[in-house]
Structure 1
Amino acid sequence: ANDQAFTVHLSHGTITVTPENPGKPGEPINPGEGSANYPDGTDKTGLTDTVNRTITYVMIDGSKAPDAVHDSLSYTASKVIDKVNGEVLETKWSANQDFKDVDSPSVKGYTPDKKTVSNKNVAHDAADITETVKYSADAQKASVTYVDDKTGKTLKVDNLNGVTSAKSGYTTKAAIDTYTGLGYTLVSDDTNGNEVVFDNDD
């Protein structure tokens, strides 16, 4: 007589871990003796990613720049684990995201090289982003007019060109010396004899 032969088929159960229901790496998945352990990367830290962005503003002439802007995007993963052997069968990360556009602050008399900083379609595993916006000084003009108070006539006009907050290298001394040498006396000098510095009013 033949012995009876019975077969029992078993499949591997799975468990899905998320940041809300994470695993505990190195600890048993199942209650049974000798159970497989949760693998690395299944705890909350392993199931979340952050991409940081820093926007730095720099004035090319070394003057005071606007404060840096810091922001970040957060991502989450779900992982399917084989409960019998502890293998990760599938990992799904949340979708790519966009950083919000940041308009470069307006600084009177200066122009930024980027009007807006825009970082789109950023993946969970992207490197941290550093953006630098450089401001150049705008062109500025100044003029110095010499007037004869007795006749009301303009003796001469010196036109100066430069950039915001820059020194012109110009003082009134040479011209005043010339006119006093011709018998004029100084009534007033708006520059107080100081070097003319360009303003920030374009």
Structure 2
Amino acid sequence: MSDQGYQLVNNGYDPDNQVPSFDDSSDIDQTFYIHLAHGTQETTRDDTINETIHYIYAGGKKAHDDVIAGKTFTQNGTKDLVTGDITWRPVTSQQFASVKSPTISGYTPDYTVVPAVTVNYGDPDINTTVTYTADQQVATIVYVDRTTGQTLNTLMEHGASDTTIPYQSANDLKTYEGQGYVLDDNQYDPTTTPKFDDDSNVDQTYYIYLKHGTKNVSETPTVHETIHYVYADGTTAAKDVTAQKQFSRQGTEDLVTKQITWQPVASQQFASVKSPTITGYTPDQLSIPAIMVNYNDGDVVRRVTYTPAELQATIKYIDDNTGAVLQTDNGTGKYQDPIKFANDVNTQIKDYEGQGYTLVSNNFAGQKYQADNAKNTF
């Protein structure tokens, strides 16, 4: 029966291949016992348990390579060669060590450490998933007036790592352009909108530089000079003399502040003007002096006033018989005023007639002062 897995323990029938004989007792039957035991055989079996840690982003995309580890068990047992049953002996447990989750910049795992786990022979494989959620990032967009160095506006945007920053500058740039600004350097979204980075320790800062737009401007004002010639009573003595100087200046207008920076303009000069001669009158200015004028000066108005000249008159009384000058009288007056002497002429003639003189001639007949004193001599 060894082919059935039994092992002989005790052969009480024919232990040494000696077949027994029947006894001679008719009252009791003979009974023989052969004792058999189940044969056994040592056996082993192996089992491998795998631990797999998956690293993914919240959306399911792979974040990092899997970490895989395995534990192999060998179990010893005894097989009953008759029944085929195996009695397995206990196997010592094994432990998967804890695993620190890898650092991914800008993301936070739901498990910073996958804890250690104890497994036994026959346990199922272990699958653990570590999910990384994007950190909240901050991006600052600063508008700077490069002309003045002043900050025009500061914007702050919040969002998850590696996602597109929602702010777009186009509308604000259009507004600034309407205020006279010109884009100088867009370091934020010159062609495409940037994304939030994955550095949670440092906020992103972007600068958009604007400068003041300008345009060329010019002006051509004219400064006039007018010289009035008048008598003392204000009536016109001579025709006005007029002159003008035209200026042209160039400038640059700041389209933001509306201020204009003008280039210097050279002064100009009105030349001196000699006052016209008017018979019998004296001007208070023989000539109007030259004068310098600058851009944007007001018009120049100047006045020359004529007053009658101070004239001299002389009358002589002559004795024609002797040629002697009997008397000389003088007078002073203004042009066209009646000539008057200290002694009335007619009275003086009568006085001489009373002295025995006879009037031969008299060329004074109450004339008025002439501009030439020679004509005021009698």
Partner of 1:139: 136
Partner of 2:101: 104
Name the structure 1 match of 2:58: 60
**Which position in structure 2 is the counterpart of 1:88?**
85
Q: Is the Cα–Cα contact under 8 Å of residues 98 and 119 in structure 1 kept in the other structure?
A: yes
Report how far residue 5 of structure 1 moved: 6.3
The reply on whether 1:51 has 2:70 as its aligned counterpart is no
Write out the 4+ residue segments of structure 1 that deviate beyond 2 Å after TM superposition: 1-15, 61-64, 86-89
**2:47, 2:122 within 8 Å by CA — same for their partners in 1?**
yes
Q: In the alignment, is residue 164 of structure 1 matched against residue 165 of structure 2?
A: no
Alignment pair present for 1:190 and 2:187: yes
Residue 73 of structure 2 is aligned to residue 75 of structure 1: yes
Q: Which deviates more, 166-175 or 188-197?
A: 188-197
CA distance in 2, matches of 1:61, 1:159: 26
Higher-Rg structure is 2
Comparing 178-187 and 88-97, the one that deviates more: 88-97
Q: Is the 8 A contact 1:110 1:136 kept in 2?
A: yes
> Per the alignment, do residues 7 and 64 of structure 1 end up closer, same or farther by CA in structure 2, a change over 3 Å counting?
closer
Alpha-carbon distance in structure 2 between the residues aligned to 1:93 and 1:76: 10
CA contact (8 A) 1:169 1:196 kept: no
Could you say which structure has the higher strand fraction?
Answer: 2
Cα separation, 1, equivalents of 2:62 and 2:46 = 37
Deviation at 1:184, TM superposition (A): 0.7
| Alignment CA distance shift 1:174-1:64 (3 Å) | farther
How far residue 15 of structure 1 moved from its aligned partner, in angstroms, is 2.2
Structure 1 counterpart SS, 2:180: coil
Would the aligned equivalents of 1:104 and 1:116 in 2 still touch at CA under 8 Å?
A: yes
Percent of paired sites with the same residue: 35
Using the TM superposition, give the Cα deviation of residue 8 of structure 1 relative to its aligned residue in structure 2, in angstroms: 4.8
TM norm structure 2 = 0.43
What's the C-alpha RMSD, in Å, of the aligned pairs?
2.1
The residue type equivalent to 2:40 in the other structure is: T
Unpaired stretches in structure 1, ≥5 consecutive residues:
19-46
| 1:154 paired residue number | 151
Distance 1:159 1:8 in 2: 98
Cα distance, 1:169 vs structure 2: 1.6
TM-score by length of 1: 0.77
Matched-pair contact (CA < 8 Å) for 1:48–1:75: yes
Most deviating of 168-177 and 189-198: 189-198
Q: Measured at CA, do residues 119 and 127 of structure 1 come closer, stay the same or move farther in structure 2, by a change above 3 Å?
A: farther
* DSSP-derived class of the 1:166 partner: coil
CA distance 1:88–1:61, change in 2 (3 Å): closer
Q: Which amino acid aligns with 1:110?
A: Y
CA contact (8 A) 2:157 2:166 kept: no
Query: Which amino acid in structure 1 is aligned with residue 53 of structure 2?
Result: I
Tell me the distance in 1 between the aligned counterparts of 2:145 and 2:54.
51
- Opposite residue 176 of structure 1, the aligned amino acid is L
Gaps of 5+ in 2: 1-23, 201-378
Distance 1:89 1:127, change over 3 A: closer
